[in-house]
Amino acid sequence: MTIALVGSTPVNVILEKEFAAAQMETITVKSNELQRVSGHIGDFRLQTLDGERRAGVIVVTEPPEAKLPGIGHALLDSDPVSHPHTKPVVLLMDYEQESRQFMTPVALELALFLARRRRTVFFLKRSVKTAGTDQERLYQEARGAGVVFVDYDQVQIAETDQGFAHVSAQDESQSLEIGPCSLIVAETIHPGKTGALADCLKLRRDRWGFIDEYKHYLYPVMTSRRGVYAIDTLRACCEPEYLEEAIAAVIGDSAEQLTADANLLYVELDKEKCAFCYTCYRACPHAALTPNQAEAVMEPWEEACFGCGICVSMCPANALQLTLEKPAQGASQSVQIFCCENSGDTAISRLQEDLAHEGLTVSQVSVTCGGEITVERLLQALRQYEKVIAAVCMDDACQHFDGNRRACAQTERAVSMLEAAGLEPGRIRFVQLSQGMPRLLHEEIREALL
Ligand code: SF4
Ligand code: SF4
């Protein structure tokens, strides 16, 4: 399988090596060359400036734009790491929501480094993520080395004449004035090119504009689109263990998705009923519904839909339903018959004249054994045909051990899937016959179609 790495970063070299070890070929597509992406897991088509590239899986490696905790832009001259002066250092973690996870240990390590060099260090935080034993250890060590941790609600920064800062922080009951001091600001990450990439790949973004992978705690590389993963290569530079986890997650999840049952059910929308209330948009875990502002309706996106039915159950206007059919495909009054070559095949060949005379359209698929008739084949056939029939040998007549019994079990499973999705279960039929029983098959076809 081919993996398209979208984004050109030094981490790509590691990814290429690791994926090659897992028998996965990689191609690199520069993010500014990517024009459009279509298809689905197993068969993505990436339109680039140089033409079309194909891949089974896409991994976004373009990093967000960031400066790791660095010197505030106006205060470069007061570099607290190399400068010999002894002014206090303020590390400002000015996150309104939780910080991105990798930022906290980086800032803690820097605070510890400076404190051990006998600098006075204030660690000002509004909301930081501190989960993990490593972070707890760093926090304890930094406290032990004298770093002062301060929670605040409001902060004001003023620049002094010498290029230092004056920081004023307050919470509900107290205020703190520090200055002149060197200021290190951690809040400098922006989506950068990943924002445009997310739109091109139709990925959901979080409220700050980043690719929304953080809600998938078990698989932190997952995005809202199946087969598209995002590795935060900025974070990977600071956390080697994250990169290991990310690679394993891409390999594991893509293998699972590629061998899963085909995506057979899709959601369909009745535009007349849609109240454009966004309930389904907010509920869909796969970003498979897109608002069409011009027409004031939601638009389902078949290739991203998993057919989970969540939106169907939540739509207050009853405008959504699950379906197997693609619009405008196939004849509406036709049947596909899967025929075992030891029974149904011969039987149907004796019916051709009668069927033609009655104007019944029948598509025949021969199988060497009924065991080849699977749920996937039956449901795939329903995308084009109104009805599907499995015609296999009588009990104990299977020439391949138990193909007829397996065909029966697969048919029952497919019928129950239709029922669960609220679709007409009678669209799939099952008949057992011998070569000399064409009339039985004829009846089955007529009942199916008439
Ligand atoms: S939940 Fe139903 S009514 Fe609301 S936007 Fe979605 S389809 Fe339309
Ligand atoms: S069926 Fe599931 S995956 Fe498909 S649009 Fe509805 S909520 Fe999304």
For residue 215, what pLDDT is reported? 53
Ligand 2 within 6 A of 39 CB?
A: no
Ligand 2 within 6 A of 248 CB?
A: no
Is residue 168 a contact partner of residue 155, using CB atoms and an 8 Å limit?
A: yes
CA-proximal residue: ligand 2, atom 4 (nearest) = 305
* Burial category of 36 from C-beta neighbours within 10 Å (exposed 0-12, middle 13-18, buried 19 and up): exposed
- Start-to-end Cα distance in the chain: 45
Closest to 125 in 3D by CA, of 100, 99, 94: 94
For residue 144, what pLDDT is reported? 95
* H runs (alpha helix) in 159-307: 193-200, 233-238, 240-259, 279-283
- Phi/psi for 113 (5° steps) reads -55, -45
Closest to 225 in 3D by CA, of 44, 49, 52, 383: 44
User: How far is CA 417 from each of CA 375, 379, 423, 427, rounded to the nearest angstrom?
Assistant: 9, 9, 8, 12
Closest to 101 in 3D by CA, of 71, 137, 135, 142: 135
3 contact partners, CB below 8 Å, separation of at least 6: 19, 24, 25, 26, 27, 55, 56, 57, 58, 59, 250, 254
Task: Pick from 271, 284, 315 the residue to mutate for probing ligand 1's pocket: most ligand atoms within 8 Å of its CB.
Answer: 315
For residue 278, what pLDDT is reported? 94
- Residues 192, 198: Cα–Cα separation, whole Å: 11
- Residues 23, 171: Cα–Cα separation, whole Å: 55
Q: Which atom of ligand 2 is nearest to the CA of 301?
A: 5
For residue 202, what pLDDT is reported? 83
Q: Which atom of ligand 1 is nearest to the CA of 278?
A: 5
Domains, the chain, ranges and CATH? 2-64+192-259 (3.50.50.60), 68-187 (3.50.50.60), 266-323 (3.30.70.20), 334-449 (3.40.50)
- Residues 304, 213: Cα–Cα separation, whole Å: 16
pLDDT tens track for 375-402: 878 887 887 788 899 999 998 888 887 8
**Which residue ranges in the chain fall short of pLDDT 70?**
66-85, 95-102, 127-132, 161, 163, 186-189, 212-219, 238, 259-264, 325-333
Ligand 1 pocket list (CB less than 6 A):
269, 274-280, 298, 315, 317, 319-320
Q: For residue 145, what are its two tokens?
A: 């080395």
CA angle 356, 360, 366 (to 5 degrees): 85
Output the CA 285–ligand 2 centroid distance in Å: 7
Output the CA 270–ligand 2 centroid distance in Å: 15
Output the CA 278–ligand 1 centroid distance in Å: 6
For residue 167, what pLDDT is reported? 87
Output the CA 223–ligand 1 centroid distance in Å: 23
For residue 238, what pLDDT is reported? 65
Ligand 2 within 6 A of 308 CB?
A: yes
Q: At what angle do helices 240-259 and 11-21 cross, to 10 degrees?
A: 50
Q: Are strands 2-6 and 57-60 parallel, antiparallel or unpaired?
A: parallel
Task: Pick from 306, 324, 423 the residue to mutate for probing ligand 2's pocket: most ligand atoms within 8 Å of its CB.
Answer: 306
Q: Say how far residue 371 (Cα) sits from the centre of its chain.
A: 34
Cis-peptide, bond into residue 180, ω within 30° of zero: yes
- Residues 66, 207: Cα–Cα separation, whole Å: 17
User: How much is the pTM?
Assistant: 0.55
138 contact partners, CB below 8 Å, separation of at least 6: 105, 108, 109, 112
Task: Pick from 265, 282, 311, 323 the residue to mutate for probing ligand 2's pocket: most ligand atoms within 8 Å of its CB.
Answer: 311
For residue 329, what pLDDT is reported? 45
Q: Say how far residue 276 (Cα) sits from the centre of its chain.
A: 24
Closest to 124 in 3D by CA, of 82, 81, 187, 173: 187
Output the CA 402–ligand 1 centroid distance in Å: 47
Q: Which atom of ligand 1 is nearest to the CA of 277?
A: 4
Please report which ligand is nearest the Cα atom of 278. Answer: 1
Please report which ligand is nearest the Cα atom of 306. Answer: 2
Output the CA 294–ligand 1 centroid distance in Å: 15
Output the CA 270–ligand 1 centroid distance in Å: 9
Task: Pick from 266, 292, 298 the residue to mutate for probing ligand 1's pocket: most ligand atoms within 8 Å of its CB.
Answer: 298
For residue 328, what pLDDT is reported? 41
For residue 319, what pLDDT is reported? 93
DSSP label of 78: G
